[in-house]
Homo-oligomer: A and B are copies of this chain.
Amino acid sequence: MDTLTPERATIRQHPERAANQEAADFLAAGTVAHVGFQVNGQPYVIPFSYQFDGSTPDRLYLHGGHSSHTLRALSDGAAVCVTVTMVDGLVFSRTALNHSMNYRSVVCFGRARAIEDSEEKQRIFTSMIDRYFPGRTAGEHYAAATEAQLRATAVLEVTIENMSAKVRRGGATGPLDNDPDALGTCGVVPL
């Protein structure tokens, strides 16, 4: 995986927020992946739960039904963009345009393929449930998927070719925010 600056992964806005060394941490911590692709000239952005595991840091997994528009559109190796964003706080400033958000985000570029192997699907579901619900274990807390259930479920593997991560942390940074005598207030509403 090359996270280094092909054109599509170049950060132009707020380059001081680049955080590529934290990309895997952000992917491991996220809840929703927004999956972007294009069909017949129309871009789509669809939210998915997903699996990411630091042991294979160039792979993301998405699952859905076989009828899923997204999974069908992507299973043939089409270009995909998968973005994971966490908002950590709302930043208010003494200056209108310095209102902002604290966030962590990763934008991943890659290609997808359908996973057909039942054992691999099983392994992905098990680790995905453990990521969302740490310690939750098949055979103890829930029944593992049956063969029939696995066959009825589509899993997409996204191979990440490039990615870029950004982060904003801390308080307001407007031109008046260090001046306690200036009009107004500044701070962060944690989320």
Which residue from B8, B47, B185 sits with its C-beta under 8 Å from A105? B47
Decide: A43 near B38, CB < 8 A? Known: A143-B95, A184-B142.
yes
- Cα separation A34 to B95 with both chains bound (whole Å): 25
Chain B, residue nearest A172 (CB): B142
Q: Mark A37-80, 1 if CB is under 8 A from B, else 0.
A: 11001111111010000000000000011011100000000011
A183: B residues at CB distance < 8 A? 139-140, 142-143
A65-104 residues with Cβ-Cβ distance < 8 A to B are 65, 67-69, 79-83, 85, 87, 90, 92-97, 99-101, 103
A44: B residues at CB distance < 8 A? 8, 36, 81, 107
B34 touches A85 (CB 8 A): yes
- Contact-residue bracket for chain A: 35 or more
This chain's copy number in the assembly? 2
- A4 at interface by CB-CB < 8 Å: no
A141: B residues at CB distance < 8 A? 92, 184-185
Q: Shortest Cβ distance from A19 into chain B, in angstroms?
A: 14
A94-144 residues with Cβ-Cβ distance < 8 A to B are 94-97, 99-101, 103, 105, 107, 109, 125-126, 128-129, 132-133, 136, 138-144
Q: Mark A10-53, 1 if CB is under 8 A from B, else 0.
A: 10110000000000000000011011111001111111010000
Decide: A143 near B45, CB < 8 A? Known: A68-B12, A125-B96, A133-B90.
no
Q: Which 5 A-B pairs have the closest CB atoms?
A: A36-B45, A34-B34, A45-B83, A36-B36, A36-B43
